[in-house]
Amino acid sequence: MHYTGTIWRPPYEASSLLVEATAGCTHHRCKFCTLYADLPFKFRLSPLKDVEADLKEAREMRQNFSGGRTERIFLTGANPFVLKADRLKAIAELAHKYFPETKTIGCFARVTDVTLKSDEELAALGQAGYDGLTIGIETADDEALAFMDKGYLAADIVEQCARLDRAGIGYSFFYLAGISGAGRGEKGARATAAVCNQLHPKAVGANMLTIYPDSRLFEEIRQGAWQEESETEKYREIRALAQGLSIPTVFAALGASNAFQMQVRLPEDREKLLAFLDEVIENVGEDELRRYRKSVRHL
Ligand code: SF4
């Protein structure tokens, strides 16, 4: 298999077949991000012959060893959805050639990847099986989005994800607690809830900002241009997000950046979730949460 560098996937894609369609990130500018720093290039798309060879190899492996069905394929790389619609359709055709039982194909996507496609192209991609995109919106706090160099604002999230809704392409969001900076966490969370409430994310997954010395954000902090939230503020922020979401969705915090893992359905389990977060905020001290943060050596 042509896997390049560290392969990242959402926790809920654990049983999906991971196929490399791209490596790295076309944007590669978010100040907090060090995810693809181990690659010698910014972004690369995989030759179709490599994608086909990997699908063929995976098919043979399944037949020889597990015999299991592959109903979900997840394309790896930070934003394979940036690929031209024709390229994505060609990949879907190959996926269905080697795994006819495939029901859906997902990948990470940036909001700006959707902007590049027409409504007709999005509809065709939905027909081709693309569904369950994971979009790291991080926040809908415009000040934080601009400072962190995410390359879009809250209005873009609403506009582009509404286009996915209309095209029948499902998606989940990643939210990044801590991105708004000290004293602004709950405000950022409320702004994000207001944006999510206009859309239909299948899940809102919270991660927690963990700052590494090789990030641009680390340098901003060193120069006094930005101040990190305390760990308890990050939990208050997550609480504000959970409280503000009025749409039916799954709320989760499953990645390694979270000291406490959780997954609930909203609105049914809201009170249980809020009670749990209150328990963390009131009874787990900043020192203990900070110790956990320092122990996260790599995401
Ligand atoms: S956070 Fe995502 S979009 Fe931003 S640089 Fe990292 S991988 Fe790229």
**pLDDT per residue as tens digits for the range 166-185:** 999 999 999 999 999 999 99
Which percentage of the chain shows pLDDT scores above 90? 94
Return the pLDDT at 261: 94
- Ligand 1 pocket, 234 CB below 6 A? no
Q: Check pocket membership of 255 for ligand 1, CB cut-off 6 A.
A: no
Residues 172 and 299 in one domain: yes
**Pocket perturbation via mutation, ligand 1, pick of 30, 150, 209, 214 by most ligand atoms within 8 A of CB:** 30
Residue 82 Cβ inside 6 Å of ligand 1? The answer reads: no
Residue nearest to atom 4 of ligand 1 (CA): 30
Same domain, 176 and 282: yes
- State in Å: Cα 203 to ligand 1 middle: 19
> How many other CB atoms are there within 10 angstroms of residue 154's CB atom?
19
Q: Residues 106, 59: one domain?
A: yes
For residue 275, name the pLDDT band (cuts at 50, 70, 90).
Answer: very high
Residue 18, pLDDT score: 97
Mutate which of 6, 9, 22, 33 for ligand 1 pocket (most atoms within 8 A of beta carbon): 33
Atom from ligand 1 closest to the CA of residue 28: 5
- pLDDT, mean of residues 204-213: 96
From the CB of 27, is ligand 1 less than 6 Å away? yes
Q: List pLDDT tens digits, range 77-124.
A: 999 999 999 999 999 999 999 999 999 999 999 999 999 999 999 999
Q: How far is CA 137 from CA 62, 100, 233, in A?
A: 34, 32, 20
In terms of domains, do 284 and 166 share one?
yes
Phi and psi, residue 256, nearest 5°: -65, -20
Q: Are residues 166 and 267 in the same domain?
A: yes
Q: Which atom of ligand 1 lies nearest, measured to the CA of 36?
A: 7
Cα–Cα dist 51/267, whole Å: 40
> How many other β-carbons are positioned within 10 Å of the β-carbon of residue 204?
23
Nearest-CA neighbor of 204 among 273, 134, 145, 261?
134
Which CATH number do you get for residue 101? 3.30.750
Give pLDDT, residue 71.
92
Contact status, residue 160 vs residue 198, Cβ threshold 8 Å: no
Pair 101, 150 in one domain: no
My answer on whether 123 and 167 are in the same domain is no
If one counts the domains in the chain, the total is 2
What value does the mean pLDDT of the chain take?
Answer: 96
Protein residue with its CA nearest to atom 5 in ligand 1 = 28
Residues 167 and 65 in one domain: no
Ligand 1 atom with minimal separation from the 136 CA: 2
| Cβ-contact 21, 75 below 8 angstroms | yes
What sign has the CA pseudo-torsion 229, 230, 234, 237?
negative
196: domain CATH number?
Answer: 3.30.750.200
Q: Are residues 149 and 181 in the same domain?
A: yes
The band of 67, judged by pLDDT with boundaries at 50, 70 and 90, is low
What's residue 65's pLDDT? 72
The residue out of 91, 109, 131 marking a domain boundary is 131
Confidence of residue 199 (pLDDT cuts 50, 70, 90): very high
- The pLDDT score that the predictor gives to residue 194 is 98
Same-domain pairing of 140 and 120: no
* Cα atoms in the 13 Å half-sphere on the side-chain side of 122: 20
Beta carbons within 10 angstroms of residue 82's beta carbon: 24
Cβ of 30 below 6 Å from ligand 1: yes
Q: Which of 131, 151, 182 delimits the end of a domain?
A: 131
Question: Are 125 and 175 members of one domain?
Answer: no
In this prediction, residue 152 carries a pLDDT of 98
Query: Residue 298's pLDDT is what?
Result: 75
- For residue 110, report the distance from its CA to the centre of ligand 1, in Å: 8
The residue among 89, 114, 131 that closes a domain is: 131
Ramachandran region, residue 263 (left: φ > 0; alpha: ψ -120 to 50; beta: rest): beta
Q: How far is the CA of 47 from the centre of ligand 1 (A)?
A: 22
**Closest residue (by CA) to atom 3 of ligand 1?**
27
Residues 146 and 285 occupy one common structural domain: yes
Q: What is the mean pLDDT of residues 11-16?
A: 93
Residue 289 near residue 259, CB atoms below 8 Å: yes
Which residue range(s) make up the domain with 98? 1-131
Contact 153, 145 (CB under 8 A): yes
